[in-house]
Amino acid sequence: MSQPKGFLNIVLHAHLPFVCHPEYKHFFEENWLFEAITECYIPLLQMLTRLSQEQVKYRLTLSLSPPLMAMLNNELLQTRYLAHLHKQIELAEKEVIRTQGTAYHDLAKFYRQLYVDTRNIYQAQYGCDILSVVQALQASGHLELISSAATHGFLPLLNSEAAVRCQIETGIASFATQFGLQPAGFWLPECAYYPGLENHLQRAGVQYFFVDAHGVEHAGTRPRYGVYAPLDCGNAVLAFARHPACSQQVWSAGTGYPGDALYREYHSDIGFELDLDYLAPYILDEHVRINTGIKYHRVTGDNLPKALYQPQQAAAKARLHAEDFINQCRQHMAQQAENMDRPPIITTPFDAELFGHWWFEGPQWLEWVLRLAASDAGLQTGTGSDYTQHCTQHQVATPSASTWGEQGYSKHWLNANNDWIYPLLQQAAADLEKLVRALQGSYVNPLQERALNQALRSLLLAQASDWPFILQTGTTVAYAKKRLNDHLARFHYLLESVQTNAINARYLSALEILDDIFPAIDFRDFQAPI
Amino acid sequence: MTRLQSRHHPNMSFSTQDLLAIDKTISQNYTPSSPVILPIERLRSRHAPQQALQTHELLAISTDITQRYAPHLPTRQSELTLVPVDPTSVYAYWNINSEQAGDLVLRVYATPASVRLMFDVPVSDLQNRQLIHLPSAGLSYAAVIAERDADNKLTILASADSISVPPLYPAPPKPTRTHTPQSHTKPTEVIRLDPAQKSTPIAIHAPYQAHHTDACFDYAEDAPAFFQQMTGSTNNRTRHCVFNISGLN
């Protein structure tokens, strides 16, 4: 096999917090999942399937967080998603009628078709089982699937070895149950790494993970090849670094591709533009304006009235941006390859939800990137596992503590807006660890076992990085606070009910329905590694 | 072939195939989908399927538990925790289980002790957490929270384990290269201690391995001269400390 000039490792990280509210008939935040299915997951999977059917050679890394997998498998949410689509089709129908004779009419028909197609694909083609399509792409050799932490806990701030271990091992166990295989790679939530984390990963059988560029650049020993080769953390677990310049092209709101004037404007949505009476059946509580997904304008430019969105022009631009991206990757690789004894690797991790939701043309851009890479003689798409098959020796150095968040560290998840949660989380973890230790070797009856397992589910759900993130960004603060309070209250209730031998079976069943995740979890696993 | 016309729009005609195709498209796209019947009225735990609950029961139980078990920190043994935030700041949070007569002081010091870097952050007994700005990146720090009595003596109430903050810059390319404190040719790191923090540097000592400060002074006596030398300013109230990051060649 000839040596490639370089690997392009595109990593999509798909994650949403676990949001499922069977205690309500409708719950607004469940729309996060529904919008992501319609705008991101189905378009991406359709595109990837199309490429595989056309025998385009590509490799892509896809990380799926356990909460997302649990939600995609949840029958109640599947049913509610179909109901959501039904409403979307209904609204688009109304729009087709309303816009007749206007410049918006073709776009209204475009959305109607989009929702109808989505329903047909989801229901008839996928059988409401999105993960089976993912698995088929993994089986055909196009995707390398990797796992992530149980509830996307921000590992450096958990301050509990038992909690970190449980987040990692529960995440991997969920993945193994879903796909029947052990993942080679692991997505650290928010790329948040601290020295020592590699020991937990090694114990869990992980071979590699990702950090932001400065995680490798500021390693204990200066990296010989910078971000173009992984580091061996000293225990054969590899850290791949995000390539700053190439990632910036996609991430940056100001200078990145998604801000192009021809692309669809996310913030121009009929939910905020049309009469409330007209929108009432399709918005929150019939009077609170929300995004509906129907957007008629393009980014246009600063201080200009928003112009009509034209999908064909946007698609053509997506292709140009894909060409630019591949050219830039090729140039970076060519520069590096001269000074390297191995092919350079460019790692570009992105949130999957960027593609299609925030950046509507993202899936088209990615399709062109994969097509162009497949026909490029000097560059090939490859995953972490592909790279390690080519290169078996790596520089040994411990990466530096880092995240891919604002300013590169933990500030976004620990500041005056969210600092109050950490003592509570740490105390809860310490309480559970102490109880687990005390129960070692003791008989635990089935009801106690269920209560303790449910307490662990509550704690894991409270640890999700999404809650401090939301508290800091200020978007749905009340909901994040509610979730933290609910989960911690449930945790303390369950622990007390076990300790006082007063478990209410009805209450326990209710909590198992409310937080229906990690069915096979075992509270005994909540302990620090020996 | 027979062509059919709409009585409402006679100038448009269709073949049978046309009509079949249109009919098929409409059926395909607009047949109501079946599983949109909502909601599921009774729900069961997968761990105890014999127990069925209704939506309103779930809500009532959830509300009841949240009201009765609102998260709070129980008063147990006194404890102090440090959490790294970034290269130049850590978060401290604590729980003190005793009545204090004197002022509370958070004393932060670099480890190992040979680094000789220590400073105090005054804190109120109403607080239980504080962001602390650090004078130097890439070090390990520990802390104690203590009560200061009238004689300026400290009684330690709780201590925190040592934590490390990451470096600001890459490691030197040749780790064995000797440190040259006089060379000021490489990036100079200016760390401004947040005046709001009101921390009091007690001693900053140098040179420590490759990345760290080459300043050494006792705040009260040496600092003004140090500031003057490094900044040309005689204003020692600015609390600006300038450190040379040497060894980065």
Residues A444-462 have pLDDT tens digits of 999 999 999 999 999 999 9
Tens-place pLDDT, residues A329-342: 999 999 999 899 99
Residue of A220, A490, A509 with shortest CB distance to B51: A509
- Region A3-25 average pLDDT: 93
> Among A348-362, A369-383, B18-32, B60-74, whose mean pLDDT is lowest?
B18-32
Selected from 2.170.150.20, 2.60.260.20, 2.60.40.10, 1.10.3080.10, the CATH number assigned to the domain covering B79-244 reads 2.60.40.10
Asked if A76 lies within 8 A of B166 by C-beta distance, the reply is no
The number of CA neighbours under 13 Å toward the Cβ of B197 is 26
Interface of B with A in 1-30 (CB under 8 A): 28-30
User: For chain A, how long is the longest CA-to-CA vector?
Assistant: 76
How far is Cα A134 from Cα A144, in angstroms, rounded to an integer?
10
> Confidence band (pLDDT; 50, 70, 90) for B28?
low
CA distance B192 to A389: 47
Question: What's the confidence (pLDDT) of residue A4?
Answer: 67
Listed in sequence order, the DSSP H helices in A294-420 are 311-337, 362-374, 384-390
pLDDT of res. B96: 87
User: In this complex, is the C-beta atom of B49 within 8 Å of any C-beta atom belonging to chain A?
Assistant: no
Q: Write out the two tokens for A455.
A: 């307490």
Chain B residues near residue A219 by CB distance under 8 angstroms: 170-171
Both A117 and A84 in one domain: the answer is: yes
- The answer, for B171 touching chain A at a CB cutoff of 8 Å, is yes
Give the minimum alpha-carbon distance from B129 to chain A in angstroms, rounded to a whole number.
8
A334 and A466 fall within a common domain: no
> Is the CB of B114 inside 8 Å of chain A's CB atoms?
no
| B117 contacts B88 by C-beta, under 8 angstroms | no
Count of residues making up chain A: 530
Subunit contact B83:A414, Cβ cutoff 8 A: yes
Tell whether A107 is covered by a domain.
Answer: yes
For the cut 50, the answer to whether the pLDDT of residue B194 exceeds it is no
Question: What is the rounded end-to-end Cα distance, in angstroms, of chain B?
Answer: 87
With an 8 Å Cβ cutoff, are A25 and B38 in contact? Answer: yes
Count of domains for chain A: 2
Q: Which residues of B touch A86 (CB under 8 A)?
A: 32-33, 36
The answer to whether the beta carbons of residues A451 and A507 sit under 8 Å apart is no
Of residues A530 and B58, the one with the higher pLDDT is B58
Residue B205 has pLDDT above 60, yes or no: no
Instruction: List chain B domain ranges.
Output: 79-244
Domain annotation covers residue A216: yes
Question: B218 versus A67: which is more confidently predicted?
Answer: A67
Interchain contact B178–A (C-beta under 8 A): no
- Whether residues A107 and A41 fall in one domain: yes
Using the 8-state DSSP alphabet, how is residue A115 labeled?
H
Name the maximum alpha-carbon separation found in chain B: 111
* Closest-CA distance of chain B to residue A373, Å: 32
Q: How far is Cα B88 from Cα B201, in angstroms, rounded to an integer?
A: 15
Identity of the residue in A85, A506, A516 whose CB atom sits nearest the CB atom of B51? A506
How many angstroms away from the CA of B10 is the closest CA of chain A? 22
Q: At what angle do helices A130-139 and A42-53 cross, to 10 degrees?
A: 30
Mean pLDDT for the stretch of residues A33-43: 98
Tell me whether B62 touches chain A (CB under 8 Å): yes
| A64, A212: one domain | yes
8 Å CB contact of B65 and A86:
no
The nearest CA of chain B is from the CA of A230 a distance in Å of 16
Q: How far is A499 from chain B (nearest CA, A)?
A: 15
* Closest partner CB to B85 (pick from A217, A411, A509): A411
Contact across the interface for B70 and A485, Cβ inside 8 Å: yes
Count CB pairs under 8 A between chains A and B: 173
Write down the pLDDT at residue A255.
83
Q: Beta-carbon neighbour count of residue B249 at 10 Å?
A: 12
Please judge whether B171 and A426 are an interchain contact, meaning their C-beta atoms are less than 8 angstroms apart. Answer: no
Which of chain A's residues have a Cβ under 8 Å away from the Cβ of B140?
none
| Dihedral sign computed on CA atoms, order A186, A183, A373, A44 | negative
Q: Which member of A113, A157, A510 has the closest CB to residue B83?
A: A157
Position B213 pLDDT exceeds 50: no
The answer to whether residue A503 scores a pLDDT higher than 90 is yes
Q: Which residue has the higher pLDDT, B213 or A376?
A: A376
A400 shares its domain with A449:
no
pLDDT tens-place string over residues A81-97: 999 999 999 999 999 99
Q: Do B40 and A76 touch (CB under 8 A)?
A: yes
Q: Which of A355, A382, A407 is the last residue of a domain?
A: A407
Q: Is residue A322 a part of any domain in this protein?
A: no
CB contact under 8 A, B85 and A424: no
Shared domain for A452 and A390, answered yes or no, is no
- Assign B197 to helix, strand or coil: helix
B166–A490 CB contact, under 8 Å: no
In chain A, residues with a C-beta closer than 8 Å to the C-beta of B131 are: 415-416, 419
Q: Which residue of A has its CA nearest to B176?
A: A221
Instruction: Compute the average pLDDT of residues A20-42.
Output: 96
pLDDT at A465 over 90: yes
Question: Between A400, A427, A509, which is nearest B48 by CB?
Answer: A509
| Domain C-terminal end among A388, A407, A426 | A407
**Is the pLDDT assigned to residue A161 strictly greater than 90?**
yes
Residue A472 shares a structural domain with residue A378: no
Q: How far is CA A129 from the centre of its chain?
A: 18
Token pair, residue A116, equals 């109808």
The answer to whether residue A314 is domain-embedded is no
A307, part of any domain: no
Residues of the domain holding A144: 7-260+327-407
Contact list in B for residue A453 (CB cut-off 8 A) is 47
* A358 lies in the same domain as A461: no
| Structure-block tokens of residue A469 | 């993130």
How far apart are alpha carbons B213 and B190 in whole angstroms?
A: 11
B97 contacts in chain A (CB < 8 Å): none
Instruction: Please report, for the domain that includes residue A477, its CATH number.
Output: 1.20.1430.10
Q: Is the pLDDT of residue B226 over 80?
A: no
pLDDT value, residue A82: 97
Is residue B249 scored above 60 in pLDDT? Answer: no
Distance (Å) from the alpha carbon of B211 to chain A's nearest alpha carbon: 11
CATH number at residue A31: 3.20.110.10
Domain-located, residue A238: yes
First CA to last CA distance, chain A: 44
Q: Does A204 lie in the same domain as A136?
A: yes
A308 belongs to a structural domain: no
Give the model confidence (pLDDT) of B117-159 as tens digits.
999 998 887 788 999 999 999 999 999 999 988 888 989 999 9
- Of residues B173 and A216, the one with the higher pLDDT is A216
Task: Considering only residues B102 and B86, tell me which one the structure prediction assigns the higher pLDDT.
Answer: B86
Tell me whether residues B171 and A219 touch, CB distance under 8 A.
yes
Q: Compute the nearest-CA separation of A50 from chain B (Å).
A: 21
User: What pLDDT score was predicted for residue B29?
Assistant: 63
Q: Which of residues 213-242 of B touch A (CB under 8 A)?
A: none
Is A446 found in the same domain as A386?
Answer: no
Strand partners, B109: B118, B142
pLDDT in tens, B150-191: 888 989 999 999 999 999 999 987 654 434 444 333 333 333
Bridge partner residues of A345 (DSSP): A7
Question: For residue A488, what is the nearest residue in chain B, using CA coordinates?
Answer: B71
- The chain-wide mean pLDDT, for chain A, equals 96
Average pLDDT of the segment spanning A185-207? 98
Distance, in Å, from the CA atom of A229 to the CA atom of A124, rounded to the nearest integer, reads 43
| B35 close contact with A: CB closer than 8 A | yes
Would the pLDDT of B223 be above 70? Answer: no
Q: Do A519 and B91 touch (CB under 8 A)?
A: no
Cβ neighbours of B64 (radius 10 Å): 14
For the segment A296-334, what is each residue's pLDDT rounded down to a tens digit?
Answer: 999 998 888 999 999 999 999 999 999 999 999 999 999
- Tens of pLDDT, residues A505-521: 999 999 999 999 999 99
Inter-chain CB proximity B62 and A514 less than 8 Å: yes
Are residue A15 and residue A42 in the same domain, yes or no? yes
Which residues of B are less than 8 Å from A488 in CB distance? Answer: 69, 71
B51/A contact by beta carbon, under 8 A: yes
Q: What is the ipTM score, two decimals?
A: 0.92
Same domain, A382 and A425: no
Q: What is the pLDDT of residue B93?
A: 93
Choose the weakest-confidence range: A148-162, A489-503, A514-528, B68-82.
Answer: B68-82
Check residue B183 and give its pLDDT: 39
Chain B contact probe: residue of A506, A513, A517 with most B CBs at under 10 A: A513
pLDDT for position B220: 31
**Domain stops at, among A378, A407, A436:** A407
